[in-house]
Amino acid sequence: MTKAENPDIARARELILSLGWNSTSFQIINPGIKRWFSAEADAVVGYVSASQIRVVVGAPVCSIERLGDVVAEFEADARRTSEMVCYFGAEARLDSLLADSQNHTRFLLGAQSVWRPRAWSAIVAGNSSLRS
């Protein structure tokens, strides 16, 4: 860490490198993103606040075993500041955890594309619009 580097960014980067799993993990260290750390310092959540809503960058970065506890702790912190939480781009782990929750609403915006390089030749051969 350089002298000028924000210590929160360095802490977040360490957690991302050891526990990051979703495609949005590294967005947490971007400028303008607020970082919340769990009481146990084993998790980080990146978010922006807008109109009393914490819009979370993906899902909490933590171990799978701690995901439920971290979500509960983060959402409790948001309630203390009269904010609601919206997880954006959170992916399957968080979706599975909260699927049966009566306190959460899910809205599927899209799915991540799947890239299978081995099948590319056959895909191109079988689809004229791709060939052009």
Tens-digit pLDDT string for the chain (132 aa):
455 668 899 999 999 999 998 878 889 999 999 999 999 999 999 999 999 999 999 999 999 999 999 999 999 999 999 999 999 988 888 888 998 998 988 877 666 566 566 777 887 888 877 666
Dihedral of CA atoms 49, 39, 104, 62 in degrees, nearest 10, equals 100
CA distance 62 to 96: 15
Q: Which residues contact 104 (CB under 8 A, 6 or more apart)?
A: 98
Sheet with 53-57, strands from edge to edge, namely 34-37, 44-50, 53-57, 84-88
Dig out the tokens for 45 from the structure.
Answer: 């959540």
Question: β-strands 44-50, 53-57: how paired?
Answer: antiparallel
